[in-house]
């Protein structure tokens, strides 16, 4: 892939509606410094200097879609609580509609509180409800998706295992997307892995992929067996396995794997990197990219976001800068296809 093709794809972004269904979270950051150890226990005392709130989980996927100028339609549940109000306010700030959210009074809005000192996470505390949706709430969520089906280019399922993506809801969404010809991408939870059958794309990391297949990924041979094996088992169109410092590997039926090296220059925080990967991939597909090009885009987006503290949404300008840097400094892909 050359600079002209990069500009063509980026120039086509911003015309699609993408529906995101999944576990919506509020990310809270307590940021400060450590100068002493607690006299009560052998733990650091963090002097909190600021508190930040960011969109997390499926809401962060929506923020990434929005940052790439596409229109996100966010479907999921929130509680009837103060955290939901903060989340709605953050969505409004980003220009993301909250019209498709479903209020479930039996659940609390998920909050993930991270304590950060000297750019390092000290501890995380989670406030959440993990029981599955009731039939009534599930039906409301499905209706939100079905009502939007004729005006969306893609669906992203963001499954963090908090109870929103039930087996019955997932099966109904898959059937709907297959019937309507809607591109369906899944950011998986490993315990649900074998439920994601016949999807367009699934984006596990190498640990999740190995767990799902029953083989630890230690070598390239392991990776190839796991990637191709999952592709067959799930009958998926493509599987993109993220591999941390080793980059990403794309598996497609009838094609040799494509390996894309990482170009992240310094890693500060991997929070939300999976959200960025799937959002950038789907945005590229909606803009006319093929699967290898979309994987290269998502790799560049991940390289940017891990260099930022907290969940960072990648813009088209960020993507262009990262991709130009990658083109200048090395090959973008190896094996099955090169760019």
222 is catalytic: no
DSSP assigned state of 99: T
Cβ neighbors of 277 (< 8 A, separation 6 or more) are 187, 203, 240, 242, 248, 298, 299, 301, 302
Break the chain down into helix, strand, coil percent, rounded to 5.
40, 25, 35
Strands 201-202 and 183-187: parallel
238: which DSSP letter? E
Determine contact, residues 12/69, Cβ cutoff 8 Å: no
Nearest of 164, 197, 208 to residue 75 by alpha carbon: 164
Q: What is the spatial distance between Cα 42 and Cα 56, in angstroms, rounded to a whole number?
A: 31
Instruction: Find the radius of gyration of the CA atoms of the chain.
Output: 20
From the candidates 221, 269, 275, 290, give the one annotated as an active-site residue. Answer: 275
Q: How far apart are CA 240 and CA 259, in angstroms?
A: 10
Question: Does residue 226 contact residue 249 with C-beta atoms inside 8 Å?
Answer: no
Pair 77, 71: CB distance under 8 Å: no
Show which residues are catalytic. Answer: 275
């Amino acid at each position: 892939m050359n600079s002209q093709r990069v500009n063509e794809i980026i120039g086509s972004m911003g015309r699609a509606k993408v529906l995101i269904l999944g576990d919506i979270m509020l990310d809270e950051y307590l940021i400060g410094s450590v100068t002493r150890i607690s006299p009560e226990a052998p733990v650091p005392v963090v002097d909190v200097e600021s508190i930040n709130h960011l969109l997390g989980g499926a809401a962060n996927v929506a923020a990434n879609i929005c940052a790439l100028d596409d229109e996100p339609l966010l479907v999921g549940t929130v509680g009837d609580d103060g955290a939901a109000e903060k989340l709605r306010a953050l969505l409004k700030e980003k220009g993301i509609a909250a019209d498709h959210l479903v209020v479930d009074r039996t659940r609390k809005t998920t909050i993930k509180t991270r304590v950060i000192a000297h750019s390092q996470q000290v501890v995380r505390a989670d406030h959440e409800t993990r029981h599955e949706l009731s039939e009534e709430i599930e039906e409301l969520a499905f209706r939100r998706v079905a009502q939007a089906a004729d005006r969306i280019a893609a669906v992203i399922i963001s499954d963090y295992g908090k109870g929103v993506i039930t087996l019955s809801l997932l099966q109904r969404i898959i059937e709907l997307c297959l019937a309507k010809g809607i591109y369906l991408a899944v950011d998986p939870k490993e315990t649900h892995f074998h439920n994601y059958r016949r999807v367009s794309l699934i984006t596990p990391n190498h640990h999740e992929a190995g767990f799902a297949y029953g083989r630890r990924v230690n070598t390239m041979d392991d990776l190839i067996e796991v990637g191709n094996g999952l592709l067959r088992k799930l009958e998926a169109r493509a599987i993109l396995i993220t591999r941390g410092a080793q980059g990403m590997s794309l598996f497609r039926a009838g094609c040799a794997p494509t390996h894309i090296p990482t170009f992240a220059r310094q890693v500060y925080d991997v929070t939300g990197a999976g959200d960025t990967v799937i959002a950038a991939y789907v945005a590229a597909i909606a803009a006319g990219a093929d699967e290898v090009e979309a994987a290269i885009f998502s790799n560049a987006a991940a390289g940017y976001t891990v260099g930022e503290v907290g969940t960072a949404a990648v813009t088209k300008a960020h993507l262009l800068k990262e991709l130009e840097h990658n083109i200048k400094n090395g090959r973008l892909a190896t094996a099955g296809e090169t760019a």
